[in-house]
A = this chain, B = another copy of it.
Amino acid sequence: MIIVLKPQATKRDADAILERIAAVGLRPLFLPGQERVVLGALGDERALEQLHLDSDPMVESVKPILAPYKLVGREIHPHDSIVPLGATQVGGGRFTVIAGPCAVESREQMMATAKAVAGSGARALRGGAYKPRTSPYSFQGLGAEGLAILREAADATGLPAVTEVLDVPDVATVEASVDGLQVGARNMHNYPLLRALGARRTPVLLKRGMAARVEDLLLAAEYILAEGNPNVILCERGITTFETATRNTLDLASVPWIKSRSHLPVLVDPSHGTGLRELVPPMAKAALACGADGLLVEVHCDPPRARSDGRQSLFPEQFDAMMRELRPIADAVGVEMT
């Protein structure tokens, strides 16, 4: 950690801070410059957290040297993690497509969609039973009934199922019905939920928050790993920016950035990432080309009748065409896509 003092700071101010650095077991450094005094603290910077040096009125700024995450980082875990999702595996050189409707709406809708996506090569099913909606007047999901339908569709197709869990009290119920638990973008900062999921072993699909820097996403994953659950799949789904042409701005550069720093697999959600179904196939291809480990994509058997996110849901035949277009690219980039 590098600590820059204010111009008016005295030697005595510096000494007081150096003492506090030494007291937590770090090596203090005094670097007097022409215009500013700079202090250093070498060692595990996480020990400095407790000192809150940036609160000192004589401190101008504090610059960390080490990344604030540990368990999710490659420094202590250099090899790619492979996360099991039922019989499917995510990460480790394969491209895994998870597909299905935004929300489970009915048995017929879920079964039709599940069969279609399974037939086109999806390796896992998605479908929301508890939906976080901006307006209280929008469809909020079928709840427990939706979970049962999703399970039935998963069993019928032999695919593992992933669904969103919104809240700690729901975790056990939801976990009983599915193979993977999704934390939505709106809940990436819901630390009680992250901790509850960390205390279990069910794989967690953690979506990036709308205003979260990629480093924040890694720290959210760190919450889960720190509680003991190593089965975390990250998902880039677009961030909130000034651009209004698309629902979010899909930050694909986050994929190689994360993969160079973390061993966790990274999926891309081109449906929420763009909000427009015609942009889903090109962004899916881009995700594959830049190194993503798979997709989370919305498909509906009848998008114009979808009760949520219809505008970004693919028609089954569009999904099928997209899957066929992805395969030669997977070959070209040397990735397995079964």
| A interface residue numbers (CB < 8 A to B) | 2, 4, 7, 27, 29, 31-36, 38, 40, 42-44, 46, 49-50, 52, 54-57, 63, 65-66, 68-69, 75, 132-140, 166-170, 186-187, 189-193, 209-211, 213-216, 219, 222-223, 226, 239-246, 249-257, 260, 273-274, 276, 278-279, 282-283, 285-291, 303-308, 310-311, 313, 325, 328-329, 331-333
Contacts and interface: CB of A to CB of B under 8 A. Distances in A.
Given A2-B63, A190-B190, A38 B42 contact: yes
Contacts of A222: 135-136
Contacts of A331: 328, 332
Contacts of A63: 2, 63
Contacts of A333: 285, 325, 328-329
A108 B223 CA distance: 30
B311 A55 contact: yes
**The 5 nearest A-B residue pairs measured at CB:** A55-B310, A211-B211, A186-B189, A286-B286, A289-B289
For the complex, would chain A's binding face be called helix, strand, loop or mixed by DSSP majority?
A: mixed
A104 to B, nearest CB: 16
B239 A136 contact: no
Contacts of A245: 213-215, 254, 257
Given A282-B289, A283-B252, A210 B211 contact: yes
Contacts of A140: 191
Q: How many copies of the shown chain assemble into the complex?
A: 4
Contact of A55 (B33, B54, B240, B306): B306
A137 B34 CA distance: 20
A259 to B, nearest CB: 9
A308 B55 CA distance: 9
Contact of A304 (B52, B170, B239): B52
A253 B250 contact: yes
Interface centre among A167, A254, A273 (most CB of B within 10 A): A167
Nearest to A258: B245
A239 B250 contact: no
A39 to B, nearest CB: 11
Nearest to A166: B192
9 contacts: A36-B65, A38-B40, A38-B65, A55-B311, A213-B244, A214-B243, A241-B251, A253-B279, A260-B278
